[in-house]
Structure 1
Amino acid sequence: MQTELAMACSTGMKFTKIILFGLAISFAACQSSKNSQHQSDSIASIESGPGKIVDERFLIVPGQSIGEISLGEDMEAVGKKLGKPNAGDAAMGKAWGIWFDDDSTGNELAIYSSYRDTSMRVKDVKQIRITSNRFKTQDGFSLGRSLRDTKLKFPAMEQLSAYLNEEKDTVLVYDAKHDGIGFEFLKGKGIALTVHQTSKSVNDTYLTLHPEWKMIAPLD
């Protein structure tokens, strides 16, 4: 009788262990599934972040390019992409070409070019200036930001000059020289940006684009 009772107890304990083991496996599988799902959600969140959704046609790369136009690009190739400029100015082998948007925004794309070398055969892109906030850096930075926000993004940025435009409003010109990007601010907001060669000042050719603007003493 005692032997039968012992055997029964032993069988019951084995059965209980089997159940507990099964529950442990189920719990572990559940946790693994949750962790896997959480990891998947995290990856999806990273991949859908602002740095992953910029259309290359509107991507700003300081010191390199804006959209489909790159520094150093042959102006003949630029002409094939953009067509004939709507306005511009040229002298002594240097030129600004300006293209206006076809919509009512008044936005413009301006390209400064000059001869690539002393052979004076090919003109290439030296600066690219935009006024549209459709263009963004890889992490989503665009025009329309405050001067303070722009300084946080480009801490090496320094004021170069100040101008009175046609409406007698003050336009401030800043440049992050070593980053290869400069900005224009009106009433504390970015209204234009220029991508240029790194370590070269954006202001080297500035007045050829707006000769009607009057330079005033820089503001602190």
Structure 2
Amino acid sequence: MKISSFRIALAFCALSACAQPSSQKAAREDSVRQAAAPAAPEALLTPGESAGKFRLGQDMDSIFALLGKPDDGDAAMGKAWGIWHGVDTIAVYSTYADSNMNRRTARQIVVSGEDYRTGNGIGRNTPLKTIRESFPALQPAATYVSDTNDTLWVYDEQAAGIAFDIRKKDGQLLCSAVTIHNRQEPVTATYLTIHAGWKKLP
């Protein structure tokens, strides 16, 4: 099964473009407020473990029971992305749990909702500079460009198990989505990419 990969990228682009502040000052003030806001338990980002009520290693049947059938996705070679759109967009990358190939488990969880935050308030619209202060081992993992010359940078703290999509908005480099992945495993270690429709630079 392979569903339109362009729609996946378009959905994340649309989310990150929404609700742009009218000025750089407003953007900075908005980022400060969001960074200071604690995450509710159902939206807490725990690197290497979970995004709210969704956790790495979770059986996909239980995720389907919570979210229903995915709105979009991509699948090949025993790997799959499931995408759910709504107030927040959630994407889950899964693989077979073992060689029996009768059970799938979550390997990466991507969220772009405003409420999803780490314990110290890092999440969507947090400036890259602030993220680096909380995750000093953060390293560039990939760069993508769109047909409209938009650029998306992925920064990963591999040891911790968390990565951040970064885009420029009102002159600032801000987080547009957060990926929770297994510790010591690079965020790019997937057969399929959530950034389908974008061109990955060498």
Supply the distance in 2 between the matched residues of 1:163 and 1:206 (Cα, whole angstroms): 17
Report the aligned-residue RMSD.
1.6
Change (3 A) 1:88 1:114: same
User: Is 1:115 the counterpart of 2:134 in the alignment?
Assistant: no
- Following TM superposition, by how much is the alpha carbon of 1:166 offset from its aligned partner in structure 2, in angstroms? 4.4
Per the alignment, in what secondary structure is the counterpart of residue 150 of structure 1? helix
Which has the larger share of helix? 1
- Runs of 4+ aligned residues of structure 1 deviating over 4 Å after TM superposition are none
What's the CA shift for 1:178? 0.4
Q: Identify which of 53, 66, 76 aligns with 1:68.
A: 53
Query: Are residues 1:85 and 2:70 paired?
Result: yes
TM-superposed CA distance for 1:71, in Å, is 0.3
TM-score (norm 1): 0.70
Tell me the number of residue pairs that the alignment of Structure 1 and Structure 2 aligns: 163
AA matched with 2:53: E
Are the equivalent residues in 1 in contact too, given 2:73–2:80 (CA < 8 A)? yes
Aligned match of 1:171 = 152
Q: Which has the higher strand share?
A: 2
Shift in Å, 1:163: 0.6
Contact (CA 8 Å) 2:152, 2:165: kept in 1 or not? yes
- 1:209 and 2:194 correspond: yes
- Secondary structure of the residue aligned to 1:205 is coil
Residue by residue, what CA displacement relative to the aligned partner does 1:145-196 show, whole Å, maximum 9, x if unpaired? 1111111110000001211024321111110000100011111111111000
Rounded Cα–Cα distance in structure 1 between residues aligned with 2:39 and 2:194: 29
TM-score normalised to the size of structure 2?
Answer: 0.76
Q: How does 1:1-16 map to 2 (within 5 A)?
A: none
Q: Select the residue among 130, 133, 155 that pairs with 2:136.
A: 155
Structure 2 counterparts to residues 36-55 of structure 1, below 5 A = 54-55=39-40
Question: What secondary structure is seen at the aligned counterpart in 1 of 2:115?
Answer: coil
For 2:136 and 2:190, how far apart are their aligned partners in 1? 23
1:130 and 2:115 aligned: no
* 1:180 equivalent in structure 2: 161
Between the aligned residues of both structures, percent identity stands at: 37
Partner of 2:30: none
More relative contact order in 1 or in 2 (CA 8 Å, sep 6+)? 2
CA distance in 1, matches of 2:141, 2:193: 16
Q: Which stretches in structure 2 are left out of the alignment for 5+ residues?
A: 1-35
AA paired with 2:142?
A: S
Q: Give me the whole-angstrom Cα distance separating, in 2, the residues matched to 1:98 and 1:182.
A: 18
User: Greater shift after overlay, 56-65 or 204-213?
Assistant: 204-213
Among 124, 132, 144, the residue aligned to 1:143:
124
Shift, 1:112, TM fit: 0.1
1:118 CA drift (Å): 1.0
**Structure 2 vs 1, CA of residues 142 and 209 (structure 1 numbering), >3 Å: closer, same or farther?**
closer
Q: Distance in 1 between matches of 2:137 and 2:110?
A: 20
